Amino acid sequence: MAAAALVLREQQVLLIRRANQPGRGLWTLPAGFVDAGEDPAFTAQRECLEETGVQVHVTGVFNVISGREHPRGADILIVYNALPVGGELQPCDDADRVAYFPLHELPPLAFKATHWIMERLRLNHLPFDPATKDR
């Protein structure tokens, strides 16, 4: 099991660029494996701090995704909504870059799950158009 922090600031999302395989050089959410006995929400907070230098407060679950994308991946990913509460933005641990990106200007993303999350997030932030019933 893994946990990720979905950190939004205005209309921007916090992403890390992966320093290691799989997905080296591509961008994803700060995330990592849940340690034995660890609360997954704490994992999301810990991994965000370790990878981005940003301390966050988890506010709830955004989504739970199942299915392993690669041999070293998790079977379950819990994505938590999180608010930045401190720290200094800087790449650490498994990240060689960190940045906030506008939802409409995302960099190349690392995983299918990251693509799916960003699409759902982007759709949730679009204005409702009654002519098309799209959201």
Q: What is the pLDDT at residue 106?
A: 96
Residue 54's domain comprises 2-124
Q: What separation in angstroms does the CA of 133 have from each of 13, 120, 128?
A: 25, 16, 7
Q: Is 130 within a domain? A: no
Predicted structure pTM score: 0.87
Q: What is the mean pLDDT of residues 41-59?
A: 97
100 within some domain: yes
Question: pLDDT class for 71, splitting at 50, 70, 90?
Answer: low
Question: Position 7: which residue type?
Answer: V
* Total domains, the chain: 1
pLDDT of residue 125: 61
93 domain-assigned: yes
Q: What is the CATH number of the domain that holds 36?
A: 3.90.79.10
Within 13 Å, how many C-alpha atoms sit on residue 72's CB side?
6
**pLDDT higher than threshold 50 for residue 119:** yes
Give, in degrees to the nearest 5, the angle at Cα 45 between 41 and 47.
110
- Give me the sign of the Cα torsion angle 83, 89, 94, 99: positive
Residue 64 lies in a domain: yes
Q: How far apart are CA 40 and CA 71, in angstroms?
A: 21
Give the mean pLDDT of the chain: 89
Q: How confident is the model at residue 11 (pLDDT cuts 50, 70, 90)?
A: confident
